A and B are shown apart, each in its own frame.
Chain A
Amino acid sequence: MSEPRKNYVRPLDIKHGRVDMAHGAGGRAMAQLIDELFARHLGNEWLAQGDDGAVLPAPGAGRLVMATDSHVVSPLFFPGGDIGCLSVHGTINDVAVMGAQPLWLSAAFILEEGFPLADLARIVESMAAAAKAAGVPIVTGDTKVVERGKGDGVFISTTGVGVIVAGRELSGCRARPGDVILLSGTLGDHGMAIMAGRESLGFESPIVSDTAALHGLIATMLDCGAELRVLRDPTRGGLATTLNEIARQSGVGMMLQEKVVPVSPPVAAACEFLGLDPLYVANEGKLVAICAANDAERLLAAIRAHPLGAHAAIIGSVHEDPHHFVQMTTAFGGRRIVDWLSGDQLPRIC
């Protein structure tokens, strides 16, 4: 078969083009968008199969872990990342905190009519780079287009599959009195980077999102010999929400030491300015780990040895409490509850 004459194929105008309804209609325009944008950047042998689903090799031993996450973020591009790499990191992390090795991802896009193709290309390139760096290919996907005004530019849902070796049990219900709580780094970088990116708040800051794939760090933690009981990534709702979830699941209480909870000075300053509490601000590249007290120092050393865990700290301990309160000794010397987030965190007015 000879090559079609070049002039008979009009390439996608990525520079000036925009998403239109035809890109989701299942016809030629959609096929072209998939070929020239998605497949071009994300391409791998499974995606190249081009069928409705990807046929994947059955993993050997172990059990499967599957996690899914939808990503809506405004602004789509923020200091330190964008919705593309975020959607890859987020789902990889959800698989990895189960103690599994992430293997494959799927991605579904909901695009709003009128969305610039150049922005979409940037997002897909960022996804491709993140997936490549993490060694977790995107093997299947979907695209839909909604009318202008019915979406917020682009929404991305990703699903991840991984395998977990036999005998490894990580779960939010396994924290026990006497255990120690570790945090892999500073709090609030992602949330405050997003806030700073919303121009209506009118402040500039050097804060960069911490979005990162954590499976490498998790692998070193699992390998260090410490008995990990719980592993979570404190995303939306921040550390406070994650710890309250674990306390409830495990039926325990917790006591944190505010003095040792790491927060970078620019994040602390921005939170101060807006009246927000960094304990409730989202992270996209941090881990909370709970382990037996005996193993804590070893685990801390393992986390700190990894580039994503340089600022790790032991931040508190688990104890018996029928009320499942997460409490904190404040740096000031008092004591308070670190409660569930109620509604949205709002700046104070007084």
Chain B
Amino acid sequence: MKYIDEFRDGEVAQKLAAAIGREVNPDRRYHFMEFCGGHTHAISRYGVTDLLPDNVRMIHGPGCPVCVLPIGRVDQAIRLALAHGVTLCTYGDCLRVPASDGLSLLKAKAQGGDIRMIYSCADAVALAQQNPEKQVVFFAIGFETTTPPTAVAIKQAAALGLKNFSVLCCHVLTPPAIASIMEGVDEQLQLDGFVGPAHVSTIIGSRPYEPFAAQYRKPVVIAGFEPLDVLLAIRMLIRQVNEGRAEVENEFVRAVDRDGNRKAQALMDEVFELRENFEWRGLGTLPHSARRLRAEFAEFDAERRFVLAYRPVADHKGCDCGEILRGIKRPQECKLFGTVCTPENPVGSCMVSSEGACAAHYTYGRYKDV
């Protein structure tokens, strides 16, 4: 804990904030996007923006696992539970994501679906082992951080010869999402740099961001999830902007290097292949942006086992999640924010997880709006 407290120290933060105040150019504005939901949460939870000068603005990015999950994917999970009668296991936040017909996994559970919240996908494998008469499906979501554990679970199920375990794989990749954001920069979105992912980068390393920095001339600084990490990364971004540099820098050296975790990468490659296309909420359909199970593991692929078609479904008309995930709008600019759409009754996915931009602003920052 001592170790963690060092990264939350208020006095160090004040000094750093003062240094940032001296370094910013008062004649310009700085717009930085934090890609990860983890950063969004840390910034809101610790009030990091309160320590920044007025001309430095943070924009929430799309890196929140449940936020980018499109309705069609949640619908598939609900169909598995209600129509196919499987035991569907997933991480907690997934349960409340709004889907079609006013449903969510939580509401499907109340309608009698056997839907379980688990903390680790190993629990789903154990559940399948203990209940050989039930089909157990793990609804796998998340970026590169949660993908290797799913790969381990699939390999474990294969080793055990489980006939009743499969995965609805919605694991997505970070670089295509960043590329998609970069494409929109300057037209609708002013952006001067990126706070790069923390946990994701421990897996994929810092190298995958190099093409973005070079091609789009935007600096990227990889940062840990502690508030001082974020503040340090912001200072590094400001320096790059001031000096006209656009490089990939790493604040999170205690956990991230250029190559990442080769073993985890190999594991993902062994079990998964890239999908041709995958629909994201907010970002649309992006090529090679998500994973599915390789043919060798096809029997553990819930989409194949239960012959699940994917039907895209448009977001709620009033919901601005798309613009929010692309950084074009701020949560409080959505007409439904805080009135129709609240954490108790989320209309869009950004209001569900504490890492979602709307939920984070509602929960921690809405005093600023009144």
A-to-B contact residues, CB < 8 Å = 200-202, 259, 265, 268-269, 272, 323, 325, 327, 329-337, 339, 342-344, 346-350
Shortest beta-carbon distance, A336 to chain B, in Å? 4
Q: Contact between A331 and B354 (Cβ–Cβ < 8 Å)?
A: no
CB-CB under 8 A from B64, the residues of chain A are: 350
CB-CB under 8 A from A330, the residues of chain B are: 10, 45-47
- Which residues of B (266-289) have their CB < 8 Å from a CB of A? none
Of the stretches B89-97, B158-166, B213-221, the one at the interface is B89-97
Shortest beta-carbon distance, B147 to chain A, in Å? 12
CB-CB under 8 A from B145, the residues of chain A are: 350
CB-CB under 8 A from B363, the residues of chain A are: 337, 339, 342
CB < 8 Å A-B pair total: 106
CB-CB under 8 A from A349, the residues of chain B are: 65-66, 91-93, 141-142, 146, 353
- Which residues of B (1-36) have their CB < 8 Å from a CB of A? 1, 4, 8-10, 13-14, 17, 36
Shortest beta-carbon distance, A269 to chain B, in Å? 5
Q: How far is the CA of A334 from the CA of B13 in the complex (A)?
A: 10
CB-CB under 8 A from B37, the residues of chain A are: 350
- Pick the contact of A334 from B41, B49, B66 — CB < 8 Å? B49
Nearest opposing residue in chain B for A344, CB measure: B92
- Pick the contact of B96 from A325, A335, A343, A348 — CB < 8 Å? A343
Can you sample 25 A-B contacts with CB below 8 Å? A259-B10, A268-B1, A323-B367, A330-B10, A331-B10, A332-B9, A332-B13, A332-B47, A332-B51, A332-B228, A334-B227, A335-B47, A335-B367, A339-B363, A342-B343, A346-B93, A347-B92, A347-B119, A348-B38, A348-B353, A348-B354, A349-B146, A350-B36, A350-B38, A350-B355
CB-CB under 8 A from A201, the residues of chain B are: 119
Shortest beta-carbon distance, A115 to chain B, in Å? 22
Say yes or no: A336-B146 contact (C-beta < 8 A), given A269-B1, A350-B38: no
CB-CB under 8 A from B10, the residues of chain A are: 259, 330-333
Q: Contact between A346 and B344 (Cβ–Cβ < 8 Å)?
A: no
- B114 contacts the other chain (Cβ, under 8 Å)? no
Pick the most buried of B8, B41, B364: most chain A CB atoms within 10 A of its CB.
B364
Q: Contact between B1 and A334 (Cβ–Cβ < 8 Å)?
A: no
CB-CB under 8 A from A268, the residues of chain B are: 1
Shortest beta-carbon distance, A277 to chain B, in Å? 8
Q: Contact between B45 and A336 (Cβ–Cβ < 8 Å)?
A: yes
Q: Contact between B119 and A334 (Cβ–Cβ < 8 Å)?
A: no
Q: Contact between A350 and B1 (Cβ–Cβ < 8 Å)?
A: no
User: Total interface residues on B, using CB and 8 Å?
Assistant: 54
Nearest opposing residue in chain B for A339, CB measure: B363
Q: How far is the CA of A145 from the CA of B121 in the complex (A)?
A: 37
- Pick the contact of B119 from A200, A337, A342, A344 — CB < 8 Å? A200
Q: Contact between A350 and B142 (Cβ–Cβ < 8 Å)?
A: yes
CB-CB under 8 A from A346, the residues of chain B are: 92-93, 117
- Which residues of B (99-118) have their CB < 8 Å from a CB of A? 117-118
Taking A346-B93, A350-B37 as known contacts, 11 extra A-B pairs with beta carbons closer than 8 A to each other, sorted by chain A number, are A323-B370, A325-B367, A327-B367, A331-B9, A331-B46, A334-B49, A337-B363, A337-B364, A349-B92, A349-B141, A350-B143
CB-CB under 8 A from A339, the residues of chain B are: 362-364
- B187 contacts the other chain (Cβ, under 8 Å)? no
CB-CB under 8 A from A329, the residues of chain B are: 47
B-to-A contact residues, CB < 8 Å = 1, 4, 8-10, 13-14, 17, 36-38, 41, 44-51, 63-66, 91-93, 96, 117-120, 123, 141-143, 145-146, 199, 227-228, 342-344, 353-355, 362-367, 370
Shortest beta-carbon distance, B350 to chain A, in Å? 14
Say yes or no: A350-B199 contact (C-beta < 8 A), given A200-B123, A335-B50, A342-B363: yes
CB-CB under 8 A from A259, the residues of chain B are: 10
CB-CB under 8 A from A334, the residues of chain B are: 46-51, 227
Q: How far is the CA of A82 from the CA of B4 in the complex (A)?
A: 32
Q: How far is the CA of A237 from the CA of B51 in the complex (A)?
A: 30
Pick the most buried of B17, B47, B118, B143: most chain A CB atoms within 10 A of its CB.
B47
The 8 closest A-B pairs by CB, nearest first: A334-B47, A346-B92, A342-B343, A334-B50, A332-B46, A336-B364, A350-B38, A349-B91
Say yes or no: A333-B92 contact (C-beta < 8 A), given A200-B123, A343-B344, A350-B142: no
Nearest opposing residue in chain B for A336, CB measure: B364
Q: Contact between A332 and B364 (Cβ–Cβ < 8 Å)?
A: no
CB-CB under 8 A from B13, the residues of chain A are: 332-333
Shortest beta-carbon distance, A318 to chain B, in Å? 16
Q: Contact between A333 and B146 (Cβ–Cβ < 8 Å)?
A: no
Nearest opposing residue in chain A for B118, CB measure: A200
CB-CB under 8 A from B362, the residues of chain A are: 339
Shortest beta-carbon distance, A73 to chain B, in Å? 18
CB-CB under 8 A from B342, the residues of chain A are: 342
CB-CB under 8 A from B355, the residues of chain A are: 348, 350
Q: How far is the CA of A333 from the CA of B231 in the complex (A)?
A: 12
Q: How far is the CA of A268 from the CA of B5 in the complex (A)?
A: 10
Q: How far is the CA of A272 from the CA of B7 in the complex (A)?
A: 13
Nearest opposing residue in chain B for A253, CB measure: B367
CB-CB under 8 A from B4, the residues of chain A are: 272
Say yes or no: A272-B46 contact (C-beta < 8 A), given A342-B363, A350-B38, A350-B199: no
Shortest beta-carbon distance, A344 to chain B, in Å? 8
Q: How far is the CA of A105 from the CA of B326 in the complex (A)?
A: 58
Nearest opposing residue in chain A for B351, CB measure: A342
CB-CB under 8 A from A269, the residues of chain B are: 1
CB-CB under 8 A from B51, the residues of chain A are: 332-334
Q: Contact between B48 and A332 (Cβ–Cβ < 8 Å)?
A: yes
Shortest beta-carbon distance, B73 to chain A, in Å? 15
Nearest opposing residue in chain B for A321, CB measure: B367
Nearest opposing residue in chain A for B14, CB measure: A333
Q: How far is the CA of A87 from the CA of B342 in the complex (A)?
A: 34
Q: How far is the CA of A334 from the CA of B50 in the complex (A)?
A: 5
- Pick the contact of B365 from A272, A323, A336, A348 — CB < 8 Å? A336
Q: How far is the CA of A272 from the CA of B1 in the complex (A)?
A: 9
Shortest beta-carbon distance, A290 to chain B, in Å? 21
Q: How far is the CA of A348 from the CA of B66 in the complex (A)?
A: 11
Nearest opposing residue in chain B for A322, CB measure: B370
Q: How far is the CA of A347 from the CA of B41 in the complex (A)?
A: 13
Shortest beta-carbon distance, B49 to chain A, in Å? 7
Shortest beta-carbon distance, B91 to chain A, in Å? 5
Q: How far is the CA of A323 from the CA of B92 in the complex (A)?
A: 30
Q: How far is the CA of A346 from the CA of B343 in the complex (A)?
A: 13
Say yes or no: A333-B367 contact (C-beta < 8 A), given A259-B10, A269-B1, A350-B65: no
